[in-house]
Amino acid sequence: MRFTVGQAASLEKAITERDLDLFGEVSLDTNPVHFDEAYARTTPFGGRIAHGMIGASLISAALGTRLPGPGCVYLGQTLKFTAPVRIGDTLTATVTVKTAREDKPILTLETVVTNQNGERVLEGEAVVKYS
């Protein structure tokens, strides 16, 4: 399978209350900034925010289902959280090939998650091995 620099794929998801409940259950992250509105209003965010790793999980989904697709595995991922995600936001995770090794099935990809306003909420770089 050949991949080219600049090749990209995306997926989109609206973030719901149920997503936070399920993510908190599976991750054990019950930080009140995600679940307690009264507490969250006292933080710099001014209200509840979604777990940052929900956005990161959308990157993982894009890699495993879109580009490079089924069978790929992470070798590494950097993440920079640049804006909060709130219930009701629609996130788009986009992965773009930066480099494709010729000697091994390994890609380096730019990873970006934006909200419905086009604002970057997460950015980073992934290195994956594909089959």
Q: Does the pLDDT of residue 52 top 90, yes or no?
A: yes
Q: Looking at the domain assignment, is residue 29 inside a domain?
A: no
Residues in the chain: 131
Q: Looking at the domain assignment, is residue 82 inside a domain?
A: yes
Q: Looking at the domain assignment, is residue 35 inside a domain?
A: no
Q: Looking at the domain assignment, is residue 60 inside a domain?
A: yes
Per the structure, how many domains does the chain have?
A: 1
**How large is the average pLDDT for residues 36-45?**
97
**How large is the average pLDDT for residues 33-37?**
98
Q: Looking at the domain assignment, is residue 38 inside a domain?
A: no
**How large is the average pLDDT for residues 72-89?**
98
Q: What is the pLDDT of residue 1?
A: 72
Q: Looking at the domain assignment, is residue 2 inside a domain?
A: no
Q: What is the pLDDT of residue 58?
A: 98
The enclosing domain of 122 has a CATH number of: 3.10.129.10
Non-local CB neighbours of 118 within 8 Å, separated by 6+ positions:
none
Q: Looking at the domain assignment, is residue 22 inside a domain?
A: no
Bridge partners, residue 10, by sequence? 94
Q: What is the pLDDT of residue 76?
A: 98
Confidence of residue 56 (pLDDT cuts 50, 70, 90): very high
Q: What is the pLDDT of residue 48?
A: 98
Strand segments, DSSP code E, in the chain are: 8-14, 73-81, 90-100, 106-114, 120-129
Which of 78, 76, 75, 25 lies closest to 51, judged by CA?
25
Q: Does the pLDDT of residue 130 top 90, yes or no?
A: yes
- Residue 124 belongs to domain spanning: 8-15+50-129
Q: Looking at the domain assignment, is residue 37 inside a domain?
A: no
